[in-house]
Amino acid sequence: MPKAKRIVLADPSAAAALLDEYSKKRAFDATPEPAPAPAPGEGLLLFVVQKHSARQLHYDFRLECDGVLKSWAVPRGPSLNPADKRLAVMTEDHPYDYASFEGVIPPKQYGAGEVIVWDCGPYTPDEDRKGHWYHDRAQAERLVRDGVAAGKLSVTLRGAKLKGSFALVRTARNPKDWLLIKHKDRFVAETDVTGKDHSVLSGLMVENLKAMPVRRMPASQLVPSGKKEALPVKLLPMLAESRDIPFASAGWMWEPKLDGYRVLASIDDKEVKLRSRRGLDLTASFPKLAAELAQQAAKGLVLDGEITAFGADGRPSFAALQERVQLKTEHEIAAADRAMPTVFFCFDMLHFAGVDTRAAPYADRRRWLEQCLLPSPHVQLVHAEENGEALYKAALASGFEGVIAKRKDSKYEAGKRSPTWLKIKPTRSAEFVVGGMTRGKGSRAPLGALLLGYWDEGELRYCGHVGSGFDDRTLAQVKARCEKLRTDACPFTEKPELHSPTTWVRPELVAEVEFQQWTPDGMLRAPVFLRLRDDVDPKSVRRTEPRIAARPVAEATSSSGDSEIDAVLRQLDNKKTALTIAVG
């Protein structure tokens, strides 16, 4: 599909006329607020809530429509409780570029005081709550325009703090007085959402702005943007390179490394598909996850994440996950859902409502994911943290594998292993292709060791045996899997030196192995078997090297948030007993 052209409103003078009052109130040579300018007339409609510490603290609620931001001042701020009917005083329209404004309006200027972007994201009218209009901007704007004129407007917001349906209703006593009311849906809460007082762009509070300058971003970056495309059906996940230790460097974000199946979830108006790293359809194995993902209420959504299963102790269990995917009947799967809960943890968004987001920087994609994902008990957002060293220590102390580091400016390179993503664990482990098995002695007679290799320019290179790390159960399972792949031909390019009877197998199994290091002659030193990886395509297995250093980059603008590392680990630890994670 050709790249979409950027367009402006057909009649910019109409938008300019709407901004006359805004312009008359401001001296643009004295205030940092943006002067009126043509707005983009394409893409997703934007909402923004700005916290404004003027003479009286209030929240400015704004909806993009007809090239401007329709605006209401909400003295007490939004509420997630339908019982709260918050006064919203309609004010002058603001220019589209105002949506990303953060800064200090000088004394003696109109609205003097500090302003932060408290929340933002895409929105759609949902009159009668029967549908959404992300794909039809013209119809969406018409519905908003008609709703404002009629004095009753219903919209669905996808923000980091505000999610779900809200009503704006004009009162009878004054045409400028409206009420902002939360509709009853699964995002209702009695807690005071205004207690989340940091900017979703800079991470600052209004009190910080007097001493700290803020870097502006284009307002168009506040919502998912990119080229238009149909929902992609054949994407492969981006992969990370390895590194031994964490590091302190500006321009990186960190996530806990989960121990599960990497999955791309594709959601449209007809069906949900869960595909593994090697492209296998796992949807039938996780019907509960598919059902919850179907509630995302966006025609066209691709999420990257990890399915994690939880054992009897409530901790993540890869073994439990492997058992789960072997189940075939609906009765077995339903019983497993009760006994071994699974959660889809999301950490990237590759497509939203007809927009390809993969070329955008990770910092933008992460912000859009926080907006657009509608969390549910078994569909959750993975926490991201700027303090990688602290998160690494805390993750290991809680029994997790390590962390993933991602450059804020990294694009999503589908199907590629990139140095802009790094997986960092205390020991080296990697995936290898199984090319054979040897006989052992005594109780290990059926299986002594596996012969391992990796692909290099179309040839399978032998790199060693692994005989430790097995228990009776895994010995039996691996032996049975290998027996089904028996072959007379050695699959390795060069036949390795053999010291015991050997059975060759077709190179269709992948084993994850922990090892100390590579020897000078290309063999694994002190390998230990960890598990089979059915989610990894054998043809994708290559030799990988841990990176020695990370290249620092300039700080990118992103939402750093105010979450604590302890909260992240509690989220991951408590899945057995409490399957809801707080977002942000």
Distance (Å, whole) CA 144 – CA 157? 13
Task: Report angle CA 166, 172, 178 to the nearest 5 degrees.
Answer: 30
Distances (CA, A) of 180 to 74, 243, 350: 8, 50, 32
**What are the DSSP calls for 157-199, one per residue?**
EE-SS-EEEEEEEE-SS-TTEEEEEEPSSTT--SS-GGG--S-
DSSP annotation of 8 reads B
- 257 carries an active-site annotation: yes
Distance (Å, whole) CA 474 – CA 562? 43
131 Cβ neighbours under 8 A, 6+ residues apart: none
Q: What is the identity of the amino acid at 464?
A: G
Select from 445, 414, 434, 70 the least CA-distant residue to 236. 414
**For residue 210, how many other CB atoms are within 10 A of its CB?**
10
Distances (CA, A) of 88 to 19, 48, 176, 197: 20, 14, 8, 19
Distance (Å, whole) CA 398 – CA 178? 49
Per the residue annotation, which of 51, 70, 257, 288 is the catalytic one?
257
| Dihedral pair phi/psi, residue 110, rounded to 5° | -60, 130
H/E element, 454:
strand 449-456
Q: Between 565-573 and 388-397, two packed helices, what is the crossing angle to 10 degrees?
A: 30
Record the tokens describing residue 133, joined without a space.
């209009």
Contact 434, 467 (CB under 8 A): no
| Dihedral pair phi/psi, residue 191, rounded to 5° | -70, 155
Distance (Å, whole) CA 318 – CA 110? 59
Kindly give the pairing relationship between strand 57-65 and strand 46-53. Answer: antiparallel
Gyration radius from the chain CA atoms: 27
Select from 545, 450, 448 the least CA-distant residue to 492. 450
Distance (Å, whole) CA 306 – CA 94? 41
Distance (Å, whole) CA 446 – CA 441? 8
Select from 281, 344, 336, 280 the least CA-distant residue to 308. 344
Select from 79, 3, 96, 95 the least CA-distant residue to 44. 96
**For residue 564, how many other CB atoms are within 10 A of its CB?**
13
Select from 545, 516, 513 the least CA-distant residue to 449. 513
Select from 251, 493, 480, 510 the least CA-distant residue to 361. 251
Q: Name the residues annotated as catalytic.
A: 257
